Amino acid sequence: MKPRIALVLLSLVLSLLIGITLRRGAGGPVPDGQRRPIIGLSMDTLEVERWQHDRDLFVARANELGADVLVVSANSDDTRQVRDCEALVNNKISALVIIPHDGAAMAKGVALAHEAHIPVLAYDRLILNCDLDLYLTFDNVKVGELQAGYLVDKLKGKHARIVRLLGSKTDNNAFLFKQGQDNMLNPAIARGDLEIVHEDWCDGWRPENAKKVLNAAITKAGRNIDAVLCSADILSAGAIQVLLEEGLAGKVLVTGQDADLSSCQRIVEGTQSMTIYKPLKHLAYTAAELAVKMARGQVIVAKEELDNGRAKVPSIFLKVLVVDKDTMDSTVIADGFHKREAIYRK
């Protein structure tokens, strides 16, 4: 039984949920008033700071909404994540929320849930080639546009040389970030304003792979680079280690995404230029309310859709913000995402 999802041109304010207790009984959506629903949350990893925030916010809001959630983390292991989904389904959850490590591999997780008549929400990363019920994310093409647009604006008036550190090929979002970056870079390249001297994918979003790509770029193109376009903060962390070793830190523009505390600290210290803040509280709360509605078989309104290779998936896209030295106080600090004293180490 899937949630009824209406594709309409309406905006909506939604919220999110999570908990920890297991429920016994039949799987699938629970009618209102009959019993406290359980949401299964299958996470790619909890080794990255950002995902710890998502989990905590999701859990807290779920409890407020009268539901519990069982959380499992696969440590970026596709086989384990499929097993996690199977275990959650066997524990008779009412709805399943998946943050996939590999968007293609987790189609199996969706199939397992649907066999038990359990609806599935993909959280922030699209699950490919399956009959997915709902997708919630930020506007990931816009993320890439803001990252590359920042560099294009800051590098005006010179022929700039850029190294690009793309994300993990197993994450569909990495391709959306690249699409957005290309939207801004290609016109500048065509004008002769900049060139990409080297680029490569960083498997698993690992900082050590970011270091390898940047070291290869310097070996290939020399130290004369103006910017490192990193698709996420975890990649900028690896890139900045290389720049420190080369004596280039603070002299080369570096982008990021996720507004990790360490990246915000690097921005105010001058070694990183910007990051993208994705208001995780809004994402987590929205996911919670959606998951609760799915668990209770209620109507969900989605105004967008995205093709995952098999179906046009009802989708909800949230807005993102640029964070640099000038906007730090008005974004992540004002939103309570990080404390000012933590960022400025005071």
Burial class (CB in 10 A: 0-12, 13-18, 19+), 96: buried
- The per-residue pLDDT for 152 is 97
Burial class (CB in 10 A: 0-12, 13-18, 19+), 219: exposed
136's tokens: 């919630």
- Least Cα distance to 95 among 44, 52, 36 occurs for 36
> Does residue 30 register a pLDDT over 70?
no
What is the SS3 assignment for 142-174? HHHHHHHHHHHHHCCCCCEEEEEEECCCCCHHH
> Does residue 99 register a pLDDT over 70?
yes
Q: What backbone phi and psi angles, to 5 degrees, belong to 305?
A: -150, 155
Q: Are 185 and 177 in contact (CB under 8 A)?
A: no
Residue type, 323: V
> Does residue 2 register a pLDDT over 80?
no
CA distance 132 to 127: 7
Architecture of domain 5-138+280-318: 3-Layer(aba) Sandwich (3.40)
CA angle, 289 as apex, 332 and 19 as ends, to 5°?
A: 85
Q: Does this chain's domain 5-138+280-318 share its CATH topology with 140-278+322-343?
A: yes
pLDDT tens track for 261-287: 999 999 999 999 999 999 989 999 999
pLDDT tens track for 108-125: 999 999 999 999 999 999
- The per-residue pLDDT for 27 is 63
252's tokens: 């080369």
Confidence label for 9 from pLDDT (cuts 50, 70 and 90)? very low
Arithmetic mean of pLDDT over the chain: 90
- Least Cα distance to 289 among 9, 8, 110, 58 occurs for 58
pLDDT tens track for 203-256: 999 999 999 999 999 999 999 999 999 999 999 999 999 999 999 999 999 999
- The per-residue pLDDT for 16 is 28
Residue with token string 């925030």? 53
Burial class (CB in 10 A: 0-12, 13-18, 19+), 8: exposed
- The per-residue pLDDT for 157 is 87
- CB-side neighbour CA atoms (13 Å) of 14: 27
Q: Find the distance separating the first CA and the last CA of the chain, reported in whole Å.
A: 53
CA distance 112 to 7: 25
CATH number for region 140-278+322-343: 3.40.50.2300
CA distance 193 to 199: 17
Q: Are 89 and 59 in contact (CB under 8 A)?
A: no
Averaged pLDDT for residues 119-137: 97
Q: What residues contact 126, with CB distance under 8 A and at least 6 apart?
A: 103, 132, 135, 137, 172, 173, 306, 308, 313
pTM for the model: 0.77
Count CB atoms within 10 A of the CB of residue 162: 27
pLDDT tens track for 80-93: 999 999 999 999 99
CA-CA distances (angstroms) from residue 343 to 26, 186, 261? 47, 34, 7
- The per-residue pLDDT for 5 is 47
Answer with the residue of higher pLDDT: 13 or 182: 182
Q: What backbone phi and psi angles, to 5 degrees, belong to 31?
A: -60, 145
- The per-residue pLDDT for 1 is 44
The ranges assigned to domains in the chain are: 5-138+280-318, 140-278+322-343
Q: Give the DSSP H or E segment for 140.
A: helix 140-154
CA distance 103 to 306: 14
CA distance 270 to 274: 10
Q: Give the DSSP H or E segment for 69.
A: strand 68-73
